[in-house]
Structure 1
Amino acid sequence: MTDRHTPPTARTSSNGRLARFLVAILPRTPAGRKLAAGAAVDSVGSGMFLAASTLYFVTVVGFPAERVGLVLAVASVVGLLSPVPLGRLADRIGPATVYVGLLAARGVGYAGFALVHDFWPYALLTCVLTALDRGCSPLQQVVVGLIEGGENQTRTMASIRSVRNIGLTAGFLLAGAVLAVESRAAFVALFLGNALTFFVIATVVERLRRRAPGTAPATASTRASTTEPVAAAGAKDVPRQDAAPEEPVRSPFRDLRFMLFTLSNGVLSLHDSVLFVLLPLWLTTATSAPTSAVSVLLAVNTVLTVLLQVYVSRFAETTARALKLVWVALLPLLLSCGFFAGAEHVSVWPAAACAVLAVVLLTVGENLHSVAVWNLSYEMSPAPARSRYLATFSLGVTGQQIIGPVLMTSVMLPLGSIGWALLAGIFAVAALVVRATGGPRATLPAAPSTPVTTEVTT
């Protein structure tokens, strides 16, 4: 029986809008859509684990909360060091091979949490898995670039970020059901479910990798084309037969331009700590806005990221456009600082309105910044050492995740409005350096003893 309160045309229109939205945020290619689907499954598992694991080990297993916190801090330091050696390994034996291996190892490791009853196995497993997690992140970008290539790469990375936000939210909700049950068996099922998601995405990537040898070899023309993205993946774990011998590439740590780009991008990424560390404390201590607004503001960020990420990726499909986008990203970041500062000097509802506008602007700047640096970091990384370079690039963001919370709580929060002016200045200087150092290089950076004459084709 048809619902008389909801006309069929209205339901059809609503379904059509939903379908158009899904099409809009998904990658253009079949291979990209498979990667995005795998990332969605993976993020559901990650959301479940993040929401429930700490509570499980403190309240069910009985580990002291302060010792769990110490383990997580040590694991973050271990994770800071892991991407570079894993990137070097990926450059030697193939990024897709290493990426799939890491995913499988993470699946086994996260399943192991279901068997942990003592503190030291928990500490060791947490440190090892954090190292593998951090090492996977830059390799994902390399694998997406090899499978997608060309202008599709930035859109696919944006799609993956969008679906990950959706998947994490779904994972948080599913974890809520487990927390309500408060049963050890339910937590064990959650850990095993999370582990299974790693094998799902590993299977997706491995199938795309295995399909590659049956496609045409990658050439200059196929790399330039985006109509056959999987064909370009044929070169991902085997050297091109028509390529000239590769020249030695120096360590990214000895590439001053790249390291300045990495450092300044890490500083510009402080918007992440503003949102997740400073915002809740600032809203409740420095403004008259209601405390309940914190969850609303975080939801605004999540929803806007899902809606904006793929849309803004079109503005960074070439390196020249990505460089211009850095300046565009700076403007909303600066404006957000102004609205944050203004919220400290008005009454309840104007303060809440200023906070909403500030978070919207911060989110827009964050999304523009992220899609720009995906393109720039990839193009700045020499092809023979791309995994190593992108792993090094990830250290800037990881460093921000360690230093940012301290900066937000020890400097920004006590300074009040002056702190927001300081942060605006930091954003401006960081964007200037990102813009000055970003962009593709014409030649491979040579090892000190070897002159370089070979051009990189990216």
Structure 2
Amino acid sequence: MAFVKSLFPESGIERTYVTSTFIGTIGAGILLPISILYFTRIVGLPAAEVGLAFTVSGLLAIPASIPAGALADRVGPRRVMTAALAALGVVGVAYLFVQNFWTLLAVQTLMGFSLAAYFPSAGALLRRVGGERTVTIRSQTRAVTNLGVALGSLIAGIGIEIGTPTAYRILAVTFSAAQVTALLLLFRLPNYQPLPRPSQDAPHTGETGTVTTPAPKRIALRDKAFVAYALVGGAMAVQNMIMEIMVPVWIVGHTHAPAWSVTVAFVLNTALVVLLQVRLGDKIQTITDGGTALRRAGIALLLGCAALSLMADLPAWAALLLLIVGMVLLTLGEIWYVSGTFAFEYGLPPAYAQGQYQGFSSSASAAAKAVAPALLLGLALSHGRIGWLALGALLLLLGLTGPAIAGWGVRTRPATTTTEPVTAETSTPTPSPADDPV
């Protein structure tokens, strides 16, 4: 308990933000394991229809991240984040009324658009809350997120074991209750107002010489260094799916390792992230650090894929030993990858456009995850060891570009964005009545 307590900031608005995220992710941990089971076993929908609804809704939501992030920049991140949590709260209750494919598609589309609004607004709000400590607070947030998902999954396991329709429905409503609780906690944060866009000098043909115009609205799409990062970081996001998709299928279908070793892999991954995310992530603060972290991630992911590729045709004990080695390496790669993305995603954007930048990177990651099942199962696993090694080599090549992108980003940052971390607003722990509608 002392260690878990150490994952949360000491007090104030930082602790409130992390606690809100923790409670919300407990709900996510409850819903993730039961969603498909609920619709196939309890509602009685065909698995193919459920899969199609999930896929279509996910694809529809991908383009929504950028405008949602831009909206958070324009109206304030807390407003958009609370609206997203309110919509997620509706989703859990709406599960109770799904009867066919079309109602399922509607509910899942609401889920997809809610998440598309949640992630960029949460990133923008975190920057306002964290100030100079943004990257550190983000690492703490990720550690407690993994802890929350694990706790939620344990709760879901109880309902799955009971197996009755009532048990599943209680879990769905519990998800909604967690989102509403997370939402209410956010009202203890200041209602940060939008930051003004800086002006820039533009050539003018008249007698005045130059005129002052606002910075471009779509600045994230014009920032070539960030676009390069988003494409590389988004492509590397497929590493998140290795654990969810490849490892279970590989263990059960292609090795002699016992089936329960799938659980060992998940527990080991979660435990290492909770134990090491803050310790390793706290050392990765600058854009340059982020580039180095992506390179380390690529190396570790290659070695982890190589270790897992050797499990085939080995006796059970040897396969289990290689699984443990591979999972340690993959988890280290995961921690370095996400820590590197934190440094890029909070170091490159100007504060006034954090939501827009966050939305763009979220869209790139979502697109990569959409194609991940076909890539990981259709290409990698179908070719066995060669597929694992090819995947590892791809992740290595992507990671090796990190330092060059970081150098590009540092060279192209305006001087004003390097000294800007908006700490004045975070010095007041509670909002004024004028700022907070509650």
TM-score range, shorter chain: 0.7 to 0.9
Matched, 1:27 2:28: no
Residue 241 (structure 2) aligned to one of 260, 268, 273: 273
CA contact (8 A) 1:284 1:291 kept: yes
Matched, 1:237 2:193: yes
Which residue does the alignment assign to 2:292?
A: 324
CA contact (8 A) 1:83 1:391 kept: yes
Matched, 1:44 2:26: yes
CA contact (8 A) 1:247 1:454 kept: no
Which residue does the alignment assign to 1:206?
A: 187
Residues 423/176 of structure 1: CA separation in 2 closer, same or farther (3 Å cut): closer
Residues 396/434 of structure 1: CA separation in 2 closer, same or farther (3 Å cut): farther
Residue 85 (structure 2) aligned to one of 103, 115, 119: 103
Which residue does the alignment assign to 2:336?
A: 368
Partners of 2:166 and 2:86 in 1: CA distance: 24
Which residue does the alignment assign to 1:253?
A: 221
How many pairs does the alignment contain?
A: 407
Matched, 1:339 2:307: yes
Partners of 2:166 and 2:7 in 1: CA distance: 36
Partners of 2:398 and 2:10 in 1: CA distance: 33
Alignment of 1:292-441 (within 5 A): 292-344=260-312, 346-438=314-406, 440-441=409-410
Q: Which amino acid in 2 is paired with 1:361?
A: L
Matched, 1:284 2:243: no
Residues 205/73 of structure 1: CA separation in 2 closer, same or farther (3 Å cut): same
Query: Cα distance, 1:325 vs. partner?
Result: 2.3
Q: Which amino acid in 2 is paired with 1:154?
A: V
Residues 345/114 of structure 1: CA separation in 2 closer, same or farther (3 Å cut): closer
Q: What's the % identity of the aligned pairs?
A: 26
Query: Cα distance, 1:403 vs. partner?
Result: 1.4
Partners of 2:85 and 2:279 in 1: CA distance: 29
Residues 27/313 of structure 1: CA separation in 2 closer, same or farther (3 Å cut): farther
Partners of 2:142 and 2:250 in 1: CA distance: 27
RMSD, matched Cα: 2.5
SS in structure 1 of the partner of residue 44 of structure 2: coil
Structure 2: gaps spanning 5 or more residues: 201-212, 422-438
Question: 1:232-277 CA distances to partner (integer Å, 9 max, x unpaired)?
Answer: xxxx314469999852244433433222211111222222222211
Q: TM-score, normalised by structure 2?
A: 0.85
Residue 73 (structure 2) aligned to one of 85, 91, 116: 91
Residue 145 (structure 1) aligned to one of 127, 135, 143: 127
Alignment of 1:73-92 (within 5 A): 73-92=55-74
Q: Which amino acid in 2 is paired with 1:437?
A: I
Question: 1:125-179 CA distances to partner (integer Å, 9 max, x unpaired)?
Answer: 21122121132112212111110111x2122222222222222222222223323
Partners of 1:82 and 1:156 in 2: CA distance: 26
Q: Which amino acid in 1 is paired with 2:265?
A: L
Structure 1: gaps spanning 5 or more residues: 1-17, 211-235, 446-452
Q: Which amino acid in 1 is paired with 2:76?
A: G
Query: Cα distance, 1:353 vs. partner?
Result: 0.7
Matched, 1:187 2:143: no
CA contact (8 A) 1:318 1:375 kept: yes
CA contact (8 A) 1:82 1:132 kept: no
Residues 313/29 of structure 1: CA separation in 2 closer, same or farther (3 Å cut): farther
CA contact (8 A) 2:53 2:101 kept: no
Q: Which amino acid in 2 is paired with 1:415?
A: H
Partners of 1:193 and 1:119 in 2: CA distance: 23
Identify which of structures 1 and 2 has the higher relative contact order when contacts are C-alpha pairs closer than 8 Å and 6+ apart: 2
Which residue does the alignment assign to 1:62?
A: 44
SS in structure 2 of the partner of residue 291 of structure 1: coil
SS in structure 2 of the partner of residue 125 of structure 1: helix
